[in-house]
Structure 1
């Protein structure tokens, strides 16, 4: 019975990760790409917690908490880059990220 629920959690995590990967590959809007990366991280967290519960070990749950903490720090950096990109180019197209490193000639 527990193995069936474990496979259900793994299946849901794989579906969520696949949706996130599809969003990263197919979208150009940088905010949608960011949300897709967060979806992939949450799918990995679900996998960690499900396997941790199955093996009666707290290691996976601790790892999930570490991933959440790292994702919070990553959110601050990523959202600040989004603000800089929008202020400079008035667009959230991911192709414009290359122009942030180039010096503008006045």
Structure 2
């Protein structure tokens, strides 16, 4: 039996996982491994996020997502009810299409 402890990052507010391997998603989002009490910005690959969170139904990864206010993604989303339970305080999303539009609105 290996003893493991939960690693806490009390000052981490932004996490960019992007195209990282799903093991990193698991390591940082699973609250039995890592505690991210101040995480407010998360950059992810939507496919990998849905895999690790089991389509936003997995309790072990929910806690570290509850304070995220800004979700940075590359894919277009169709939000499920479970998605909003996972990210109850999200106020902004950012996709490449949105960035392109903003660049041309000077």
Q: TM-score range by the shorter chain?
A: under 0.3
Q: Give the TM-score of the pair, scaled to structure 2.
A: 0.23
TM-score (norm 1): 0.23
Which one has a larger percent strand, Structure 1 or Structure 2?
A: 2
Which has the higher Rg, Structure 1 or Structure 2? 1
